[in-house]
Amino acid sequence: VAMSLQEPSLYTVKAVIILDNDGDRLFAKYYDDTYPSAKEQKAFEKNIFNKTHRTDSEIALLEGLTVVYKSSIDLYFYVIGSSHENELMLTAVLNCLFDSLSQMLR
């Protein structure tokens, strides 16, 4: 069985998204062209919101991507990586983002 090795990359995070409690975008930054158009991005955001807003877990596999997320009151924070990305690394990015914003908006 031949395994293909991936080229090393600094692009661990494919996207960072913050949605409100209706699933509407407050902030989104995509770091690659997985979803090149705004229409595709909005559809993806609605899809992840619909799959995650009622669950208590913190990790989801969706459309071949690893999604880690956290909710706080009426905001949903998402960090997206590839399907073979380390979930702990993505969770560390998410926690850093969440803690930084919490500290700034105290």
Check if CATH label 3.30.450.60 holds for domain 13-105: yes
Q: Tell me how far apart the alpha carbons of residues 20 and 60 are, in angstroms, rounded to a whole number.
A: 19
SS3 state at 92: helix
**How close are the terminal C-alpha atoms of the chain, in Å?**
53
Q: Where are the domains of the chain?
A: 13-105
pLDDT (tens digit per residue) in 11-61: 788 999 999 999 999 999 999 888 889 999 999 999 999 998 887 778 888
- pLDDT > 80? residue 5: no
- pLDDT > 90? residue 63: no
Longest dimension (CA), the chain: 53
Q: Tell me how far apart the alpha carbons of residues 70 and 99 are, in angstroms, rounded to a whole number.
A: 11
CB 94 within 8 Å of CB 80: no
pLDDT at 83: 86
pLDDT (tens digit per residue) in 86-104: 889 999 999 999 999 989 9
Instruction: Enumerate residues 6+ apart whose C-beta is below 8 A from 64.
Output: 82, 83
